[in-house]
Amino acid sequence: MIMLTGLQKIYHGGTGAVKAIDNVSLEIEQGEIFGIIGKSGAGKSTLIRCINLLERPTAGRVLVDGQDMTSLSEVELREARKSMGMIFQHFNLLSSRTVLGNVAFPLEIAGISRTEREKKAVPLLELVGLTDKKDVYPAQLSGGQKQRVGIARALASQPKVLLCDEATSALDPQTTESILALLKDINIKLGLTIVLITHEMHVIKAICDKVAVIEGGQLVETGKVFDVFTNPQSATAQDFIKAVVNNKVPDTLAALLSDAPVAGGNLVMRLSFFGDATNEPVIAGLIRRFAVDVNIISGNIDHLQDTPYGTLLIELSGKDEDIQNALIYLQDLDLRTEVIGYVARHAHAAG
């Protein structure tokens, strides 16, 4: 559906050239909810605006549904943009128009009659749950309701793609959850391809199928959300995931850890469970099979879409041979193991 190839965007200013986007290539398939995450200034807003050519790339190609957007004339580009709706962080509603008038505005610009505009706009208000608000003005709406109007307006031209530029950043957590649920519902009902940029990992975790991580204008990681979330390869992705998963080693323990085995010491490791493995009695089996004690330092179980995902941070104590056998046992199971380090026996408790 969307293919970016060698995309580059350079801004020229008083301090010289700045590469906002640096040789980015990625592919977004039909019907996906594709998230693009990055910190402030990473280039993600520029990237999404290059898709509909609100920002014209300095180099590279943008193909949408097989059409090369970068080769179109201004007239052709205006027509092509009708297949791409866009919603923004700050809603951008017309204060002098009612909710119905805002949703119908793109149709008015397109020269569609008033009767036909209303016929198209009213079902969209029903879709976003605002039928009872059609005659009120934006000033009378909450932030979440304003964003619902923005979504309905973006859908008025029956687009194939919906671009979301930090669509939930101005909303409180509960309202954010309802807007994300609405976007997921629209994706399913309309088969719409959604591209969503954000700086919040919980937004990606909630509804996205795939994610691209951008840093300094460059793509540093991309893949299925489950794969990136459970096994992040880039430091940037790891930082984002730490914000939503509490699997950090406590500072008091981290200060005592050694990378090399400590004679007569304990092994500290992180276990990650996926899917059915979250229901397995791993710790009970470990204790039954080996003469080791297990101290659970921290743990949690969460869900990525419909798949359960859990982590445990544990400390194994016992004879060196028993600890190594227990480690081999864990590594052979259907879970991910990570040795964090070694600590002298009783040192953690003493600290």
* Interior/surface letters 52-72, b for 16+ CB within 10 angstroms, e for the rest: bbebebbebebbbeeeebbeb
> In terms of C-beta density within 10 A (0-12 exposed, 13-18 middle, 19 or more buried), how is residue 114 classed?
exposed
Query: Which pLDDT belongs to residue 343?
Result: 87
Asked whether the beta carbons of 89 and 203 are under 8 A apart, the reply is: no
> In terms of C-beta density within 10 A (0-12 exposed, 13-18 middle, 19 or more buried), how is residue 261 classed?
middle
Query: Which pLDDT belongs to residue 283?
Result: 87
Domain ranges of the chain: 2-242, 251-350
Query: Which pLDDT belongs to residue 210?
Result: 96
DSSP for residue 332 = T
CATH architecture of 2-242: 3-Layer(aba) Sandwich (3.40)
Q: Which CATH superfamily is domain 251-350 in?
A: ACT domain (3.30.70.260)
Q: Which of 274, 286, 296 shows the shortest CA–CA distance to 327? A: 286
Q: Which residues of the chain have pLDDT under 50?
A: 350-351
Write the pLDDT tens digit of every residue in 67-112.
999 999 999 998 899 899 999 888 889 999 999 999 999 999 889 9
Query: Which pLDDT belongs to residue 301?
Result: 79
Query: Which pLDDT belongs to residue 351?
Result: 45
In this structure, the dihedral spanned by the alpha carbons of residues 31, 37, 42 and 45, taken in order and rounded to 10 degrees, is 40
Question: In the chain, at which residue ranges do the beta strands (DSSP E only) sit?
Answer: 2-13, 16-28, 33-37, 59-64, 67-68, 84-88, 161-165, 193-198, 210-215, 218-224, 266-274, 292-304, 307-318, 336-343
One-letter amino acid at 152 equals: A
